[in-house]
Amino acid sequence: MMRAARLGDDIDDFCVKCKRIMNHAVVSILNDGPAKVRCRTCYSDHDYRHEQAPPPKVDSRKAALFNQVLENVTGSPAPALAGGAAAADGDAPAEAVAAESTPAKGRKKTKS
């Protein structure tokens, strides 16, 4: 049976600054459990996260635009190409493969 956490105890938690699970020290306690912890690597204080990383910040508009472009190029819906399995099997149209392998001609470089 585990004992209740005490101030100063070592505990593993996800550090929001280091972006990894690191050693932390318990800084405050609430209801016999750690409430705030301090990373022993970067010394940042944050709420105890139970070793869980925050959800990723994905821009849904970028993902939708990417899927639309991918569908226009390959002619098939984007979910069918998950992980690149369909392209590896040779299901991609020849025009899409040729367009990817040859550089664009006729474009002039402009100075910014």
Tens-digit pLDDT profile for the chain (112 aa)? Answer: 667 888 988 999 999 898 999 999 999 999 888 999 999 999 999 999 988 888 777 777 888 888 889 888 887 765 543 444 444 444 444 444 444 544 555 556 666 5
How long, in residues, is the chain?
A: 112
Token reading at 85? 């399995």
> Is the pTM above the cut of 0.85?
no
Residues forming beta bridges with residue 39, ordered by sequence position: 24
Domains of the chain: which residue ranges? 10-47, 60-101
